[in-house]
Amino acid sequence: MVLNDRLKMLVDQVPKNICGVYYLYNDKQDIIYIGKSIDIRKRLIQHFKSLDKKEIKLQHFTHSIQFENTGNELIALLRESELIKQNLPLFNRAQRKIKFFYALNKEINSDGYHALIVKKIDNSGNEIISFTSLNEAKDYLFYITDKYKLCQKINGLYKTKSSCFQYSLDECNGAC
C-alpha cells in the first residue's frame, strides 16, 4: 500500500532513527493514540500502510503527529505506559485499563480533624495515592499512621467510642 499525501507529509516531519514515544492527534487536537518505537518513522509507516481495520481507522482520524526522543527503548516503554494511563487515548485499548481500585483520600471529619481514609477510587481527583487492593491500601495507611503517630480512630482503622488503643500506648498524639 502507498501512503496518501496527507499521511506521507506527516511521516516526513519525523526524522529517521528517533527512538521514543509518538502521539497521534485527531482534527480537534485530541490524542487518539500513543505508541513507542526504536524507530518512530518506520513504525508510523507500518501504521499508515497497514490494512488492518483498527489501523485504517487510525489512518483516517490522524491529523497531526508529535514525538519525544527518549534515547532508549526502556525509557520509551515506561513513558508510553505512563502517558496512556494519563491520557486514555481512544485507540490504546489494552493499556488504558486502570488497575487501581482503592485510594487514600484526605477528608475532614465531623470534629474538624483531617483524616486519611481508604476508599474505592471514584475519579474525584481527591486521591493522594492509589492501590490495587484494599489490603495494600490499609497496610500503607497503618504504616503512615504509625510512622507519624496519627490516630487510628480518626483514620478509620480502629472502631471505638473512646480514644484509640494507640493513645493508651502513647503512640498517638491524642486527637481522639
Look up the pTM and report it: 0.56
Domain segments of the chain as ranges? 5-87, 102-168
Give me the pLDDT at residue 159, please: 80
The DSSP output letter for 18 is: -
Give me the pLDDT at residue 95, please: 65
Give me the pLDDT at residue 163, please: 73
Burial class (CB in 10 A: 0-12, 13-18, 19+), 76: buried
Q: For 5-87, CATH number?
A: 3.40.1440.10
Give the model confidence (pLDDT) of 34-50 as tens digits.
Answer: 999 999 999 999 999 99
CA distance 26 to 10: 13
Choice among 4-13, 28-37, 123-132 with the minimum mean pLDDT: 123-132
Task: End-to-end CA distance of the chain: give it in Å, rounded.
Answer: 71
Identify residue 124 by its one-letter amino acid code.
Answer: S
Give the model confidence (pLDDT) of 122-141 as tens digits.
Answer: 877 778 888 888 999 999 99
Give the model confidence (pLDDT) of 159-175 as tens digits.
Answer: 877 777 777 777 777 66
